[in-house]
Structure 1
Amino acid sequence: MIVILVALIAMMWWQSRKAKQQQQERKDFRENLQPGTEIITIGGIIGKVVSVDAEYEEIVIDSEGSLLRFGFNAISREYTRPAFIHDDEVDENGNPLSQDADDEARVPVDNAIESADQNMDTVAEDAAEAVAEDDQAK
């Protein structure tokens, strides 16, 4: 019984210590914000810091021409744009294609689009003929 009690107290102390450390990291981040830093708010708004008012704990960000004012607590973290790789840039195993292979890969796609357009036109004509024949049969 005592061992379980000691274990519970140790876990609570460890969680408390971890929470305080995270809180201190967030506080340091907010205090060290400089104009030009890209950030994301807890609501998902992405923008660059325009000004920081430490006295009132407010920050002004520019999000695509709109100036928005937030409290420090609304700032989630510094924003880093995730890397994006398009499916045309990798093979079926996820390995990057060379630039020459990329150009060659696009030609069949263009041809496939043209043939699909021709097939759609043919299907549309066949459907129109079938409707006309059905109308004549009635």
Structure 2
Amino acid sequence: MVLIAAPMASSGGGGITLLLPLILIVGMIWFMSRTQRKQRQRQADTVAALQPGTKVITTSGQVGIVEEVDDEYVTLEISDGVLVQFVKAAIGRVIPEETEDATATDEAADDAADETAADAEVKTDDVKAEAKADVKDTVDVPDAGAEKAQDKSKLPPTHTEN
């Protein structure tokens, strides 16, 4: 008996299949670090641009107006006459000031939305009233005193008696 050794079929490109997951992992790490770097830069720009009179929100959610800016600390007025010091890194974001033009535009939009909502309510009430009238005309409701064929529920018992 003669045994012939046949070579195994190779998958070809074995090196690239090993490198592909490694390349993907390195790419994901690079992308995440790039995003975090941009966020840190944006935070640093926000803190550097702080001036007295700017309305801000801290990372803990405290809202206040900047009174004084030092090298490490920011003094915020959180209520009339109440001053609190925060570390600069605790400033989360700056609240943009509303101008009178934006306020007038917002009020006009709110008025238009209120009128539209009121019109929609009236139309909805009319449709509901018509639907009720149609249902009363077409549905035959049995009298309350009439005997029903099935008074017992068809649900299975919840427990058994011994």
Q: TM-score, normalised by structure 2?
A: 0.49
Structure 1 residue ranges (4+ consecutive) displaced by more than 4 angstroms after TM superposition: 80-83, 91-95
Matched-pair contact (CA < 8 Å) for 1:46–1:79: no
| Cα distance, 1:10 vs structure 2 | 0.7
Deviation at 1:22, TM superposition (A): 0.8
| Aligned with residue 61 of structure 1, among 76, 85, 88 | 76
Q: What is the match of residue 27 of structure 1? A: 44
Q: What are the Cα deviations for residues 3-61 of structure 1, in whole angstroms up to 9, with x where unaligned?
A: 1110110110111111111101101110110111100111211111001002xx10001
Q: Indicate whether 1:14 and 2:38 are aligned.
A: no
Q: Distance between the aligned counterparts of 1:25 and 1:58, measured in 2?
A: 18
Pick the aligned partner of 1:50 from 64, 67, 82: 67
TM-superposed CA distance for 1:91, in Å, is 5.5
Pairs aligned (count)? 92
Query: Percent identity of the aligned residues?
Result: 29
TM-score, normalisation: structure 1: 0.57
Q: Gapped runs of 5+ residues in structure 2?
A: 1-17, 99-106, 120-162
2-side partners of 1:12 and 1:25: how far apart? 20
- Matched AA of 1:11: M
Unaligned ranges ≥5, structure 1:
96-138
Higher Rg: 2
The code of the aligned residue for 1:41 comes to: T
Q: Give the aligned CA root-mean-square deviation in angstroms.
A: 3.0
Q: 1:72-87, aligned counterparts within 5 Å?
A: 72-80=88-96
Higher helix share: 1
Shift of the alpha carbon at 1:79?
A: 2.1
How many angstroms does 1:90 deviate by? 2.4
